[in-house]
Amino acid sequence: MKNKQKIQQMLSVYFIAGTQDCQHLSGDPARNLLDILQQALQAGITCFQFRDKGKNSLENQPDQQKQLAKQCLSLCHQYHVPLIINDDVALAMEIGADGIHVGQSDMTISQVLKQTEHKLIIGLSTNNLAQILAAQQQADIDYIGVGPIFPTPSKSDHSPALGIEFLSRLKHEQLNKPFVVIGGVNQYNASQLKQLGADGVAVISAITQAENIADVVEKLK
Ligand code: TZP
Ligand code: MG
């Protein structure tokens, strides 16, 4: 378990992306991802999750994917921002990432701990109250992702949207773990979500599809 306050600060504006999220732009998606990431870092994101998966990603080109992950890591570190790898412990260890994020159907936390030698920040996605409460009991989980809050086209297989009322109810559970909300989060709803107790907001399209990244990141803060 890492320092809780540092994790809370890290979650504030949590940007997630992979090459599949850059297909609407012309040119090389890997180059475009690096450009977007640089602008987002410049604007003040507090964390980046490399989540390169599914259709139109580099998941079947592991060498290129690894090279891109390394480039993202060195960019993040220039800005002193941690990089978390989605669901690929081997990649995280190989490039020296700061953390690993897993979903409910991915590798278990004990497997993650074994393979990371307890060194990395660990995040877990949760989609309902039972999963959130179970995660509270696992000391090695540093933060949880809660969502999707709203429906989103960015994840095709997402579970049902929880809605804003879910967060109001969650307030009464007095969670001990830092949490970040995800799914349909943008510059217009972020402040309400933070007022409802979220330590931070995690976004894909609000940044990858922004006309003005600096303006969006400023509002997400
Ligand atoms: N997990 C739950 S919703 C989601 C993920 C990865 C996608 C979020 O994308 P967007 O574009 O910020 O709604
Ligand atoms: Mg997963």
For ligand 1, say whether the CB of 123 is within 6 Å of any of its atoms. Answer: no
For ligand 1, say whether the CB of 185 is within 6 Å of any of its atoms. Answer: yes
Q: Please tell me the distance between residue 207's alpha carbon and the centre of ligand 1 in angstroms.
A: 12
Q: Is residue 107 pLDDT above 90, yes or no?
A: yes
| DSSP output for 40-105 | HHHHT-SEEEE---STTSSTT-HHHHHHHHHHHHHHHHHTT--EEEES-HHHHHHHT-SEEEE-TT
ipTM of the complex: 0.95
pLDDT in tens, 129-187: 999 999 999 999 999 999 999 999 888 877 889 999 999 999 889 899 999 999 999 99
For ligand 1, say whether the CB of 152 is within 6 Å of any of its atoms. Answer: yes
Catalogue all structural domains in the chain, each as residue range(s) with its CATH number. 4-220 (3.20.20.70)
CA distance 112 to 89: 7
Longest dimension (CA), the chain: 48
User: What percentage of residues in the chain have a pLDDT greater than 70?
Assistant: 100
182, 193, 205: which to mutate for ligand 1, most atoms within 8 A of CB?
182
- Rounded to two decimals, the pTM is 0.97
Q: Is residue 7 pLDDT above 90, yes or no?
A: yes
Strands of the chain, DSSP E: 13-17, 47-50, 83-86, 99-102, 121-126, 143-146, 179-182, 200-203
